[in-house]
Amino acid sequence: MTMAEQKPSEYTPQFVQKLRFVDRWQAVISGMAVKADEVKREFFRRVGERSFVNVSISPGQIEVEKQRRDYDFVTLTLDPQLDARTIVAVRIAPFANDLSVEWRHYELPPKKVTEHQYAKQWRLSLVVVGIFAAVLAIWGISAGEACGLVIGLGYFLLFVFIKELRPLPPRRVALQGFQPQDSWAFKESVDQILREAIDIVGISAEMIRELPKEEAKERRVI
């Protein structure tokens, strides 16, 4: 894919609430508000030139303490089947006469999966049957009586097994294998592209003034 796919927005503030916030970078470039559109065009062009696979760009909003701002969400789908994604929300916009540039890194873990208690129930049943058989052997019960008792116990365990065999509460699984590395690598790539876009329009790195990181408790208010 030579150009990042443009998608309709799904990144409403309600959707963003589901994302896991990872990191953030923000800077202000003095007197460069007039360069906002130019930097934005160059950023999108350079994202397309990277030929990322399974990457899309769509507009959306982030809400922090009831205040909303527009962002462009650059999304890498790590696992299409489980909808695992890493997302870098980018904002390039005027701030008075200055230029504000920012990215926020999020992860959307794989879809919730439902697990069953098969293994746990079967192990418990085998332990009960083993103990019951050992007790019968100690008591010296005849083979016919033992067979009848074992069959009765089997029906009872089957009833309990079926009754208790129900799905566990759905849970989100963590990113697997190399996915965490790919998530961070993608964030670093988007960061580099943004810096390249700033440089290509004639803004030197010396003009960029990075803002301090947010406090931990504030970083979770997304």
Q: pLDDT of 56-94, one tens digit each?
A: 999 988 888 888 899 999 999 988 877 888 999 999 999
Low-confidence spans in the chain with pLDDT less than 50: 1-3, 119, 216-222
Residue ranges matching CATH 3.30.310 in the chain: 5-112+171-219
Q: How many residues does the chain have?
A: 222
pTM of the full structure: 0.67
Q: Assess if CATH 1.10.3470 describes domain 5-112+171-219.
A: no
Rg (CA), the chain: 28
Q: What's at 28, amino acid-wise?
A: V
Instruction: Give yes or no for a contact between 169 and 103, defined as CB atoms under 8 angstroms apart.
Output: no
Q: What percent of the chain has a predicted confidence (pLDDT) above 90?
A: 38
Amino acid at 48: G
Residue partners of 186: CB distance under 8 A and separation at least 6: 52, 76, 86, 88
